[in-house]
Structure 1
């Protein structure tokens, strides 16, 4: 049941409320903690209005999430189109991570719904045309492979961090589990010291450096692998060809 106080608050605060103000608040609540960290009621509290006011101006949570993602994507920097396709994709994909990780859940949303926003059309146009010019006969598949794999990697990181400190806690559990295998294993020791120790003990600095190196290596490997397809004999060429 809606109370008289709630009705009054909704009526009083609706004056001056706009879709832009609601979208701004959704961006604030998503920053750092993620798209799944807030509800319509949280948004109403942030703006000091009744939830019905949020629905009136936004159309609901799904519309708000799409709006948040669209705003984030509008901040993507499109690299110089004079670059070779390898350098263009490297710059484009490396630039996505620091932006998207500010809004955990954005990469997953993009994988599920697709980046159908006008601001990203240039990336589609040049990315696909540059692959076509390089000799790929099915460049859209190559483009999707590069971008989707990058998004999946960012999503994996987001999934660990969206809920409190699950990332460091999970990595600490992994470290303990690996440690039981014994310290006489050089492979296990390298896994502990190079990967799990920094991720578990210092996730914001040393751990973040590991994640950044992992992502950069992934991007370089994807691009090198796709480039290698151009040098295979026609009968051995894989799907992107």
Structure 2
């Protein structure tokens, strides 16, 4: 996947029309408010300029384009996941906490979930998250290539499941889907669907989030494959 990031060069700061001196973090804050505005994502460069009391073109002194701004926002949200996260001696517990933190953050910011699931930020927060996650697997005794590969599989699975859970449905759509499934399960023919009929009473859990169960399966699989603690 392509890496897109905000310009890291020095920017000559100038006051906006309202006398406010822009900062990258201020722009990210305003963009996040517009993305999460009631009624749907309202982020455009023009609206961002209005929100900041600045000429819209001022944004480009800090971010190459709107995509670079979105990537910077995604990296900011990774910092939310890492806030207060201090891995303990149990690498499995730490990896579990990390996965849950990612999932919770994605649910808090559903309109950015897909972006976060499919793009790299190459920003300091993503690099820190990768450093922590790969470090946990190195501490479990995995070799360098295996630690990288397993962390990639783990974090991509967590991000994908979280993006699914965070997907915004039209009002009433989720309940309508559940009701349709309930009607279908209630009328299952044992002749046509013998296995589904045999587990009929348990089928409603199909609509529940798979995240908790898959997270435990991933960690259990890693625990079985782990060679043991690496030598100091």
SS in 2 for 1:136: coil
Query: 1:33, 1:220 → 2: CA distance?
Result: 35
The corresponding residue for 1:187 is: 199
The corresponding residue for 2:136 is: 130
| Two-structure CA RMSD over aligned residues (Å) | 3.3
1:73–1:34 distance in 2 versus 1, CA, 3 Å: farther
Which sections of structure 2, spanning at least 5 residues, go unmatched? 1-14, 189-196, 228-232
1:180–1:219 distance in 2 versus 1, CA, 3 Å: closer
The corresponding residue for 2:105 is: 99
Query: 1:56, 1:82 → 2: CA distance?
Result: 41
Query: 1:141, 1:34 → 2: CA distance?
Result: 40
Question: Is the contact made by 1:35 and 1:106 (CA closer than 8 Å) also made in structure 2?
Answer: no
Task: Return the offset for 1:222.
Answer: 0.7
The corresponding residue for 1:28 is: 33
1:224 matched to 2:220:
yes
> What does 1:11-22 align with in structure 2 at a 5 Å threshold?
13=17, 15-19=19-23, 20-22=25-27
TM-score, structure 1 as length reference: 0.67
Query: 1:68, 1:90 → 2: CA distance?
Result: 24
Higher relative contact order (CA 8 A, sep 6+): 2
1:187–1:44 distance in 2 versus 1, CA, 3 Å: farther
The corresponding residue for 2:71 is: 66
Query: 1:121, 1:50 → 2: CA distance?
Result: 33
The corresponding residue for 2:116 is: 110
Q: In structure 2, which of residues 84, 87, 92 is the aligned counterpart of residue 86 of structure 1?
A: 92
Moved runs in structure 1, 4+ residues, more than 4 A?
32-37
1:150 matched to 2:150:
no
Which sections of structure 1, spanning at least 5 residues, go unmatched? 1-10, 197-209, 232-241
The corresponding residue for 2:176 is: 172
1:111–1:104 distance in 2 versus 1, CA, 3 Å: same
Task: Return the offset for 1:37.
Answer: 5.2
Query: 1:223, 1:35 → 2: CA distance?
Result: 36
Question: Is the contact made by 2:72 and 2:121 (CA closer than 8 Å) also made in structure 1?
Answer: no
Count matched residues.
201
